């Protein structure tokens, strides 16, 4: 490898202020230093992996200054801290994000170029940290970055899963899962903290000693910390992601080993490691329940012990905990925090019951992310009592206290029908409960927490989700970011409300052209990737219509698939009718045990195979379903989207955050009045949004008619044709009856109202087609979508939590 000398040693132009930025030469020297001394490699014989690691270490060094400064300032000022407890952090790749926030993108590119290396290749070499399933986990990652930008002294607590979300492949169109192994290579961003380790117990029994309950666990494991710094925009502040790994508490059994019993000698370690082995991928199978409960308690207990230890190193009175600490529970997964915090305060710190309950409640907040009954956690009292006997006692007494204090209807109660309802536990043990969009927060009051809301009318609040504009615009969409910088200045990156100043440019034909050129460049790049990775030829001038999200019946990928079939069928009949060319993109994984979702994946792939092979419609319609959708793939697809599919059955999608990313990147939405779509439509304007379908109320009413699906199908020639084609085996000639079950369910068990919404969806799609044929109008509306999407920054969401739930000010001056 030939290295060219670096001539420009001055710092390149960048927007970071206040940070002493290294020069190209200094960073080049740092990278070479890490190559030599951290990786023990010679520059001439280094692989892409070596260069990536050395570059990551060089960038990590730059993160330390803001990280130390934030930590020191928080200690020095005794500022209130926020702890975000989450079983998931879907953080994706970290290198480019860190470079961008530190303003070092161009400097690093130049330093690497001087060594004959290409930055984009190095960025692509990093595996995604996929420690989450979907929106809930990605939201946690956006929050960490926003807290670091806004200036919140914050820790995220989670599990350092050895295997993140499974990798998805398609075999014969069917989803096949293989283990994800991001830790098979060292993770350069983390710092092992073996000194921060806590014992976590399970099982055993609770006994009375001198009038006090004491838990004697039957099993113990050690939780050991790994820290990853997260720097905010322009490196002004940083937060910490602390992930726990399971280790054995017993010493290695050398005697057994020497006697040849290797398996038994290794058993304690294997057992402890199962706790941080895999991310729970599934909310549909009963298997693994005990392990999941143990994982939840493992993370929560370690986090709370760590929080109390840090608190006690700074403050003396535990009664003041809520003055200095706010703990947010990301869904019910860490809801055992209520009883665990009480246990620690009472059993280990001698606090009385009432005070412990008051302190715990004032410290905890709970975010609800779903109304789907099957996703609301419940544990059998048997399991809870055997895995966490002391907690079961505490839960029962919390429930009794609550019953005594309030005249409760019989439907209220944490423990019911021999189950512990974790939502009710989280609600009762938190001072604030929030939904994640305006509609969702209202529906929470009317449905899952109807009775509790009546008893505690001030507890439920709303914090509409958001996304970080650093990753979801500046990093993933440089073409549009540069245009925004040139047109309205760089301020939008810190304050997304600046996008409002873009609005007048929607009327400016010259700007519209530039905007369209940025979108087209992104589409050309995506088309190239689709050609290279999937061998499918797509036309960048076709409308790119994108549905990317977890596979779930309520998200209705099936509705999109049916519409695709209908469109193809209509195009074939009249190929010269002036159709708008389209490329339909799907991306997403199904839970491994979710049969119906897997069948939908199979159908979409069969439909794609058939349509993509049709010479009659080849110039009009293609279907692309790249496997293994993840954060990095989202970064590739979103900037290239024209149309954003947000088509869930109204009342089912709590918020959505992909809908926000796509709006921000200039896609128009076709959607139902569900989740945050409602707010998106209000803000971007009804004229700039393709609305269709039943409302949440309408859905409930329609379901009362047991023949709703049959009637809708009988009324729709289009939908009848679609079902007929599927049932005849048109997409599965090798197995014509492959989808008989699916079609039967469409007629008779259409819980998510695909049929009832089909015609209205079809109409909205044709309206989108028509608009796309007038690019001036389409682009004007797309620009208005961007200009009016400032509200959907996760910085705004975080400020909402700070004001309404955490009572925490920003630690930054400006």
Query: Is the Cβ of residue 165 or residue 196 nearer to ligand F58 in the bound state?
Result: 165
Binding residues for ligand F58 restricted to 667-726, rule: CB under 6 A: 675
Catalytically annotated residue among 81, 222, 333, 369:
369
555 is catalytic: yes
DSSP 8-20: --SPPP----SS-
Rounded Cα gap, residues 464 and 484, in angstroms: 25
Is residue 310 near ligand F58 by the rule CB under 6 A? no
Kindly name the residue from 80, 402, 514, 550 that is annotated as catalytic: 550
Choose, from 549, 589, 602, 708, the residue flagged as catalytic. 549
- Token pair 């070596």 is at which residue? 50
Q: Which of 68, 63, 38 is closest to 52 using CA atoms?
A: 38
Residue 369 interacts with ligand F58 (CB under 6 A)?
Answer: yes
| Residues 247/224, Cβ–Cβ less than 8 Å | yes
Using CB under 6 A, pick the residue from 422, 538, 583, 654 that binds ligand F58. Answer: 654
d(CA 155, CA 144): 8
Q: How far is it, in rounded angstroms, from Cα 247 to Cα 276?
A: 9
Answer yes or no: 370 catalytic. Answer: no
| Residue selected from 146, 441, 657, 716 as contacting ligand F58 according to rule CB under 6 A | 657
Catalytic, 323? Answer no
Q: Structure tokens of 225?
A: 């910390």
Cβ-based nearer residue to ligand F58, 101 or 133: 133
Active site residue 378: no
Residue nearest ligand F58 by beta-carbon distance:
135
- Do 242 and 227 contact (CB within 8 A), yes or no? yes
Nearer to ligand F58, 99 or 802 (CB): 802
Distance (Å, rounded) from C-alpha 674 to C-alpha 438?
10
CB 313 within 8 A of CB 74: no
Q: Which residue out of 30, 60, 661, 796 is catalytically annotated?
A: 661
Which region among 120-128, 133-141, 306-314, 339-347 touches ligand F58 (by CB under 6 A)? 133-141
Of 776, 772, 771, 716, the closest CA to residue 747 belongs to 716
d(CA 128, CA 509): 40
**Nearest CB to ligand F58, comparing residues 590 and 617:** 590
Residues 458-477 that bind ligand F58 (CB under 6 A): 465
Q: Which residue of 22, 92, 103, 135 would you call a contact of ligand F58, by CB under 6 A? A: 135
Of 700, 648, 699, the closest CA to residue 674 belongs to 648
Residue 807 Cβ vs ligand F58, minimum distance, rounded to whole Å:
22
Binding-site residue total for ligand F58 (CB under 6 A)? 17
- By CB under 6 A, is residue 650 in contact with ligand F58? no
Residue 283 or 451 having the CB closest to ligand F58:
283
Per CB under 6 A, the segment of 101-109, 495-503, 649-657, 713-721 that binds ligand F58 is 649-657
CB 472 within 8 Å of CB 665: yes
The least distance separating ligand F58 from the CB of residue 103, rounded to whole angstroms, comes to 29
**Window of 1-9, 131-139, 236-244, 253-261 that interacts with ligand F58 by CB under 6 A:** 131-139
**Residue 385 makes contact with ligand F58 by CB under 6 A:** no
In the sheet with 668-671, reading across from the earlier edge strand, the strands are 621-624, 582-587, 543-548, 643-646, 668-671, 690-691
Burial class (CB in 10 A: 0-12, 13-18, 19+), 407: exposed
Dist CA 34 CA 51 (whole Å)? 9
Is residue 133 within the footprint of ligand F58 (CB under 6 A)? yes
Selecting among 163, 494, 555, 556, the annotated active-site residue is 555
Instruction: Please identify, among the stretches 198-206, 208-216, 566-574, 654-662, the one whose residues bind ligand F58 according to the rule CB under 6 A.
Output: 654-662
Nearer to ligand F58, 165 or 415 (CB): 165
Q: Please, what is the minimum distance in Å from the beta carbon of residue 671 to ligand F58?
A: 13
The residue among 102 and 591 lying less far from ligand F58, judged by its C-beta, is 591
Catalytic residue among 468, 493, 617, 657: 657
Considering only 136, 165, 342, 479, the residue that binds ligand F58 (CB under 6 A) is 136
Applying the rule CB under 6 A, the residues between 251 and 280 that interact with ligand F58 are 280
CB closer to ligand F58 out of 60 and 369: 369
Q: What DSSP letter does each residue of 54-85 carry, written as one string?
A: HHHHHHHHHHHHHHHHHHHHHHHHT--EEEEE
For the CB of residue 226, give the shortest distance to ligand F58 in the complex, in Å.
Answer: 22
- Does position 656 bind ligand F58 by CB under 6 A? yes
Secondary structure of 564-579 in HEC code, one letter for each residue: HHHHHHHHHHCCCCCC
- The answer to whether residue 369 is catalytic is yes
The answer to whether 227 and 193 have CB atoms below 8 angstroms apart is yes
Closest CA to 79 of 366, 328, 326, 327: 326
Of 344, 422, 337, 420, nearest in space to 383 by CA: 420
Q: Going residue by residue from 742 to 781, which x/- string records binding to ligand F58, judged by CB under 6 A? A: ----------------------------------------
What is the rounded distance in angstroms from the CA atom of residue 293 to the CA atom of residue 296?
A: 5
Q: Which is nearer to ligand F58, 139 or 678 (CB)?
A: 139
d(CA 808, CA 801): 9
Whether 514 is a known active-site residue: answer: no
Residue 655 touches ligand F58, criterion: CB under 6 A? yes
CA 421 to chain centre: 24
Cα Rg of the chain, angstroms: 27
**Structure token digits, residue 83:** 């702890």
**Residue keyed to tokens 């929470």:** 444
* Of 130-138, 217-225, 394-402, 471-479: span binding ligand F58 (CB under 6 A): 130-138
What is the nearest approach in angstroms of ligand F58 to the Cβ of residue 244? Answer: 18
Binding residue for ligand F58, selected from 134, 232, 469, 651, defined by CB under 6 A: 134
Among 99, 112, 130, 139, binds ligand F58 (CB under 6 A): 139
Cβ-contact 133, 165 below 8 angstroms = yes
Choices 111-119, 201-209, 615-623, 653-661 (CB under 6 A): range interacting with ligand F58: 653-661
CA distance 655 to 568: 31
- In terms of Cα–Cα distance, which of 229, 144, 236, 232 is closest to 188? 229
For the CB of residue 145, give the shortest distance to ligand F58 in the complex, in Å.
15
Nearest to 336 by CA among 416, 400, 395: 395
- Return the number of the residue (385 or 588) whose C-beta is nearest ligand F58: 588
* Residue 108 structure tokens: 């690093």
Among 50, 162, 306, 653, binds ligand F58 (CB under 6 A): 653
Tell which one of 106, 253, 269, 283 touches ligand F58 (CB under 6 A): 283
d(CA 472, CA 7): 34
Catalytic positions are: 369, 549-550, 555, 657, 661
Q: Note the residues at the interface with ligand F58 (CB under 6 A).
A: 133-136, 139, 280, 283, 369-370, 436, 465, 653-657, 675
């Amino acid at each position: 490898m030939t290295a060219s000398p670096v001539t420009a040693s001055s710092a390149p132009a960048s927007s970071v202020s206040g940070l002493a930025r290294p020069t190209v030469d200094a960073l080049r020297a740092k990278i070479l230093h890490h190559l030599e001394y951290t990786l023990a490699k010679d520059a001439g014989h280094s692989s892409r992996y070596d260069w990536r690691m050395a570059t990551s270490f060089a960038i990590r060094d730059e993160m330390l200054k803001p990280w130390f400064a934030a930590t020191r300032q928080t200690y020095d000022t005794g500022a209130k801290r926020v702890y975000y407890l989450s079983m998931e952090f879907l953080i994706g790749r970290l290198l480019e994000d860190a470079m961008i926030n530190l303003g070092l993108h161009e400097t690093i590119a130049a330093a690497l170029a001087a060594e004959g290396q290409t930055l984009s290749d190095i960025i692509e070499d990093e595996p995604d940290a996929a420690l989450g399933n979907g929106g809930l986990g990605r939201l946690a990652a956006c929050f960490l970055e926003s807290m670091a930008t806004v200036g919140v002294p914050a820790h995220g607590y989670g599990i350092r899963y050895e295997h993140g979300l499974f990798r998805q492949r398609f075999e014969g169109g069917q989803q096949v899962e293989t283990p994800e192994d991001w830790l098979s290579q060292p993770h350069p961003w983390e710092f092992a903290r073996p000194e921060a380790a806590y014992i976590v117990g399970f099982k055993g029994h609770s006994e009375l000693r001198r009038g006090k309950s004491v838990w004697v666990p039957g099993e113990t494991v050690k939780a050991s910390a790994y820290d990853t710094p997260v720097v905010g925009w322009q490196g002004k502040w940083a937060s910490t992601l602390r992930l726990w790994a399971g280790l054995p508490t017993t010493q290695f059994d050398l005697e057994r080993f020497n006697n040849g019993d290797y398996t038994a000698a290794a058993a304690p370690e294997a057992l402890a490691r199962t706790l941080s082995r895999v991310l729970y991928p599934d909310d549909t199978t009963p298997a693994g329940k005990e392990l999941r409960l143990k994982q939840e308690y493992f993370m929560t207990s370690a986090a709370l012990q760590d929080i109390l230890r840090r608190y006690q190193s700074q403050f003396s009175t535990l009664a003041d905990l809520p003055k200095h600490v706010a703990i947010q529970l990301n869904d019910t997964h860490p809801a055992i925090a209520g009883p665990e915090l009480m246990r620690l305060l009472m059993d280990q710190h001698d606090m009385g019951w009432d005070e412990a309950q008051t302190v715990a409640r004032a410290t905890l907040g709970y975010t609800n992310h779903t109304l789907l009954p099957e996703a609301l956690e419940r544990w059998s009292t048997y399991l809870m009592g055997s895995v966490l006997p002391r907690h079961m006692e505490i839960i029962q007494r919390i429930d009794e206290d609550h019953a005594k204090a309030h005249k409760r209807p019989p439907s209220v109660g944490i423990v019911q029908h021999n189950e512990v309802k974790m939502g009710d536990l989280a609600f009762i043990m938190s001072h604030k409960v929030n939904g994640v969009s305006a509609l969702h927060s209202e529906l929470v009051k009317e449905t899952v927490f109807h009775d509790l809301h009546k008893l505690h009318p001030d507890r439920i609040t709303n914090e509409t989700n958001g996304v970080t504009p650093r990753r979801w615009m500046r990093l993933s969409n440089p073409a549009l970011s540069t245009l925004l910088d040139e047109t309205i200045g760089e301020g939008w990156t810190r304050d997304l409300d600046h996008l409002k100043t873009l609005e007048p440019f929607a009327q400016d034909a010259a700007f519209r052209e530039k905007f369209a050129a940025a979108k087209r460049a992104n589409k050309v790049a995506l088309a190239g990737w689709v050609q290279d990775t999937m061998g499918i030829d797509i036309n960048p001038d076709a409308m790119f219509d994108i549905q990317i999200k977890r596979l779930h019946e309520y998200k209705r990928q099936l509705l999109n698939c049916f519409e695709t079939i209908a469109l193809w069928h209509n195009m074939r009949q009249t190929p010269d009718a002036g159709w708008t060319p389209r490329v339909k993109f799907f991306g997403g994984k199904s839970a491994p045990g979710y049969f119906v979702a897997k069948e939908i994946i199979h159908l979409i792939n069969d439909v794609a195979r058939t349509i993509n092979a049709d010479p009659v419609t080849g110039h009009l319609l293609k279907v692309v379903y790249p496997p293994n959708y993840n954060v990095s793939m989202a970064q590739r697809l979103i900037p290239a989207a024209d149309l954003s599919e947000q088509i869930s059955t109204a009342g089912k999608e709590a918020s959505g955050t992909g809908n926000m990313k796509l709006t921000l990147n200039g896609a128009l939405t076709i959607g139902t009045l569900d989740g945050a779509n409602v707010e998106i439509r209000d803000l971007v304007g009804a004229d700039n949004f393709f609305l269709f379908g039943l409302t949440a109320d309408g859905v409930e009413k329609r379901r009362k008619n047991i023949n709703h699906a049959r009637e809708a199908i009988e009324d729709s020639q289009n939908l009848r044709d679609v079902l007929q084609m599927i049932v005849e085996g048109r997409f599965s000639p090798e197995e014509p009856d492959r989808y008989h079950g699916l079609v039967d369910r469409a007629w008779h068990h259409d819980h998510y109202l695909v049929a009832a919404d089909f015609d209205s969806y079809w109409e909205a799609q044709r309206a989108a087609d028509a608009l796309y044929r007038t690019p001036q109008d389409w682009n004007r509306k797309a620009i208005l979508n961007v200009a009016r999407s400032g509200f959907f920054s996760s910085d705004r969401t975080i400020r909402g939590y700070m004001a309404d739930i955490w009572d925490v000010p920003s630690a930054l001056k400006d």
